[in-house]
Chains A and B, each alone.
Chain A
Amino acid sequence: MKRTTAVFLTVLLFAGACDSGSGGGSGSSGSVPGVTDSEVVVGTHMPLTGPAAAGYSKIAPATKAYFDFVNANGGINGRKITYKVKDDGYNPATTQQVVRELVLQDKVFAILNGLGTPTHTGVLDFLKTNKVPDLFVASGSRNWNQVDKYPGTFGFNPDYTVEGKILGTYVKQNLAGKKTCFLGQDDDFGKDSLAGVEKTLGPVADKQTYVTSNPNVGPQIGAFKAAGCEVVVLATIPGFTALSLGTAAKIGYKPQFVVSNVGADPATVSKALGQAAPLLEGVVSANYLPLTTDDSSPWIQLYKKVNAQYNNNAEFDNNVVYGMSVAYLFVQSLQNAGKDLTRDGIVAAVEKNGFQGPGLVPLRFSDKDHAGYGGTQLTKIQSGKAVFFGTAFTTDDADAPVQPYTAQAVTPPQNGIPAA
C-alpha cells in the first residue's frame, strides 16, 4: 500500500503547491473581475521569446510604459492600470494556457492586444464563454470582426484585405503594366491580403506561400524570378521580409517590393538584414500610425518622452509607437466607459467609437463593425527611413472603393492623457 500512498502524496503535494498560488488574483473586491476602486487589471499574451519575438516583443513593454505614465499622473477615474504580460512564444498551446491563467487565476478585467492570428484565434471561444472583453487584437485578421459570433472581440490593425486593396491600388496606378506577383504567409494573413490585392489589381501573375516553420523562401523567390515578376507584393512578418529581400539579392533579382505594414518596420527588418540593410531602399509599404522618424509629430514627441521616462529609453521603432497607441486607445476606452466600469460598459464604449488619437485614418468601430483602423497611408524607404507620400486611403474588406482620406490629424492633449 506504500506505493499507493506515494502516488496519493504526489498528487496531493501537487495540489497543495498549486493551491498556494490560487489566491494571488487581482485582489478585486467588487463584482467586476479585475476592477477595484483603485485598480483595473488587464492582461495580454505576446511572443516575448521564440521565432516571432523579433520586434513584437517590444510592443507590450511600450504599452506598459504608457500605462505607467498614466498611473504616475493619477490613473483613470482614480484607478491605476495594472498590465500583466504573459509570454506565449507565439505557440498556440501556450497561448491557451497563459490566457486561462490571466482570466481564471489573475482575474483580469479584459485581454488587451493579444498578438497573433493563429495564437489568438484559439482563445476566442474561451474569452467569449467567460464574457471577457477582448480588445484591440494585434493582427489584421478579419476573425476579430464577427460581431454576432464574438461580440466582445475588437481588432486594432487595418485588416489585411483593406491593406491589400490599398497596396493593389498603388500598383495599379503607379506600376501599371508590370508583371505583379505575391508572396504571403500561409494563413489568414496571406490569404486575406491576397484577396485585397486581387480585388483592386485583378489576378496576380504568380502567387506563392511560406510557412513560418521553414525559414527558406529560395524556391518562392526563384519562381518569381523565373516567371519574370517585376513587382512582388509581400504579406510577410519582419523575419520573412528580410529573408525575401536577401534571397532576391543573392540570386541577382531586383523587383519592386511592396510590403504589408506587418513586416515592414525598417528598424526591425534592417536588424535582421544586418549589413544587407541597404536592400530595403525603395521598398513601398504602408502605415496608419505616425512614423518614428517624424520628430515634428506631437505624437512622436509624446511617445519619445514616455519612452525615455518609463521604457528604459528602448530603441524607438514602429513597435514602440504601436504599443503606446494601443495603450492610448485603451485609456480612451476606459474614460468613455465611465467611473462605474463594467465589462459590458467598455464594450459599449468601444462600439460607440468617436476616438481621437494618433491614427492617420479613423477606427471603424460600431455595433455592426469590430474591425480596427479603416485604411492606411503609403510609405517609401529612403536613406534607410520610411517616408509617407500621397494621402491616406480608406476602404473596407468588401467592395467599397479605395478613397483618399484628407481629414486633419489631431494632436494629443496637453498632458498626454485623453480626457473623457
Chain B
Amino acid sequence: MTDLKEKQVTTSAVTTPKRRISPFVYVIAGALVILALTYTLPPFRNYQLATVGAYFTVTAGLTVLTGLNGQLSLGHGALMATGAYTFALTQNKWLHTPVSFVAAILVTTLAGVVIGLAAARLRGPYLAGLTLAVAVVVPSVTSTFDEVFNSDMGLSVALDPPPGVIPMERWQAWLCWTGALVTALLLATLVRGRFGRDLRAVRDDETAARLAGVNVARTQVLAFVVSAACAGLSGALFAVLAQSVSPGAFPLTLSLFLVMAIVIGGLGRLAGALLGAILLVALPALAQSAAESSGSQHLEGNLALVIFGVVLVVVMLAAPGGIASIRFDFWRKR
C-alpha cells in the first residue's frame, strides 16, 4: 500500500506540468526592489544602478538576437548611438522627454529594419562584418553632417529637471529602470510565445525550421528589429544619464563589451543579460580600484579590458553556458 502511494506521488510529480510564473510577477518584484534601492543607496550608487538599467535594456535585446536567434552583432554600440542622438536632437528641439524616447526607439527600429534585411542574407563572419561596418559608420556620419551632430564634440542634452525635490540620480535610476523593466516584460512575453519558438528553431536548424513552416527571413529580421529597438531605448537612457551625446561615448569597444557581457552572463537568458549588465558596471569599477591600489593609474582603462578577457575565459571554462547557467544547472540537479 505504501509502495502504491509512493508510486502515485512520483507519477503525479512527473506528469503535472510545472506552473510558469508570469513575467509580470518578476517585473513588479523587480520594480519594488529597485524602488527600495533608490531610497537606500547613496547618490553615486544610484547613478551606477541607473547605468545597470540602461545597459540591461541593450543586453536584453542583444541576448535575444544572439542567444536565441544566433545572429552575432558587433554594431549594437552604433545602434545605441542612433537612439542617443535621436533623443538628444528631439529633446533639444521640443523639450518633451516622452516624445524623445519614442522618437529614439522608432528611428533605431527603422535602422534595425534596414540592417536586419541585409543581415538575414548573411552568416557568420559576413554578418559580423556588416554590423562592424555599422559601428564604424556612425562616427563618420557625425563628422560629415557636423552642423547637425556637432562632430566629435557631440551634443549637450537639455534634460528636463526632475519633478519636485527628487534628486537627479534617483530620477535617472527610475527612468532607466522603467525602461529596463518594460523591456524585460515585453521580451519575456515575446520569447515565451511562438516568436520565441521560431527564434530557437531558426537558430538550431534553419532548414528544419523552414520545413516546419517558420518564415526564417522574417524571423531573423524581426529579431534584429526587436533588438535594435532595445538598443535605441538604451541609447536614449544613456543620453539621459550623461546629458550629452558624442561618438566617443559609443566606440567599437562598447559593442565588443556588450557581446562579452551577454556571453559571460549567460547567452539567451534575460537573467544572463542582467548579470552581464551588472558586470559592465562592476568590472571597470573593480579595475579602477585595483589600478588605484596598485599605484599605477595608467593601467585603469587597459585593466578593464584585461579583466573582462580573463573573466570571459574563466567563465567559459567553468560554465560554458555563462554565469546564469550555473544557477540554472544547480537548481535542475536538485
A residues whose Cβ falls under 8 Å from a Cβ of B? 1-4, 6-8, 10-12, 14-15, 17-19, 21-22, 48-50, 53, 57, 60, 85-87, 89-93, 96-97, 100-101, 104-105, 117-119, 121-122, 125-126, 129, 185-188, 209, 211-214
Contact = CB atoms under 8 A, between A and B. Distances in A.
A289 to B, nearest CB: 24
B312 interface: no
B242 A117 contact: no
Contact of B30 (A7, A87, A91, A118): A7
A186 B152 contact: yes
A101 B44 contact: yes
A60 B297 CA distance: 10
A187 B153 CA distance: 6
B139 A213 contact: yes
Contacts of B243: 96, 122, 125-126
Interface in B97-142: 139-140
Contacts of A185: 152
B288 A93 contact: no
22 contacts: A4-B25, A7-B30, A7-B271, A10-B278, A15-B49, A18-B41, A19-B42, A22-B42, A49-B301, A60-B297, A87-B291, A89-B301, A91-B249, A93-B249, A96-B241, A97-B51, A118-B153, A121-B244, A186-B143, A186-B152, A211-B143, A213-B247
Contacts, number: 152
A317 B327 CA distance: 54
A87 B33 contact: no
Contacts of A91: 248-249, 251
Nearest to A22: B42
B153 A117 contact: yes
Given A125-B156, A212-B152, A93 B242 contact: yes
A18 B45 contact: yes
Given A15-B45, A188-B153, A212-B152, A3 B21 contact: yes
A187 B275 contact: no
A13 to B, nearest CB: 9
Nearest to A84: B292
Q: Which 7 A-B pairs have the closest CB atoms?
A: A49-B301, A122-B244, A93-B249, A104-B44, A87-B300, A105-B44, A186-B151
Given A11-B34, A22-B42, A92 B248 contact: yes
Nearest to B278: A14
B311 interface: no
Contacts of A18: 41, 45, 48-49
A3 B278 CA distance: 17
Contact of A57 (B26, B139, B154, B298): B298
Contacts of A125: 156, 243
A92 B247 CA distance: 9
A7 B168 CA distance: 26
Interface in B316-334: 327, 331
Tell which of B21, B45, B150, B238 has the most Cβ of chain A within 10 Å. Answer: B45
A312 to B, nearest CB: 11
User: For the side of the interface on B, what is the size category?
Assistant: 35 or more
B302 interface: yes
B288 A86 contact: yes
B30 to A, nearest CB: 6
Nearest to B289: A21
A1 B20 CA distance: 9
Interface string B216-247: 00000000000000000000001001111011
Given A92-B244, A104-B43, A11 B153 contact: no
A4 B151 contact: no
Contacts of B242: 92-93, 96, 122
B82 to A, nearest CB: 15
B47 interface: yes
Contacts of B274: 7, 10
Contact of B146 (A1, A14, A186): A186
Contacts of A117: 153
B29 interface: yes
Contacts of B139: 211, 213-214
Given A19-B45, A122-B244, A92 B37 contact: no
B282 interface: yes
Contacts of A214: 139-140
B169 interface: yes
B282 A92 contact: no
A208 B153 CA distance: 17
Contacts of A10: 271, 274-275, 278
A265 B156 CA distance: 31
Contacts of B74: none
A128 to B, nearest CB: 11
B282 A17 contact: yes
B248 A90 contact: yes
B52 interface: yes
Contacts of B246: 92, 118, 122
A134 B34 CA distance: 33
Tell which of B143, B238, B327 has the most Cβ of chain A within 10 Å. Answer: B143
B168 A121 contact: no
A57 B151 CA distance: 24
Tell which of B34, B244, B327 has the most Cβ of chain A within 10 Å. Answer: B244
A192 B153 CA distance: 13
A182 to B, nearest CB: 16
Contacts of A57: 298
Contacts of A7: 26, 29-30, 271, 274
Nearest to A46: B297
B301 A92 contact: no
A14 B52 contact: yes
B297 A92 contact: no
Given A18-B45, A121-B153, A122-B242, 7 more contacts: A3-B271, A49-B302, A93-B250, A96-B243, A100-B47, A100-B169, A101-B44
A108 B266 CA distance: 38
A31 to B, nearest CB: 17
Tell which of B33, B47, B48, B152 has the most Cβ of chain A within 10 Å. Answer: B152
A3 B324 CA distance: 11
A105 B26 contact: no
Nearest to A211: B143
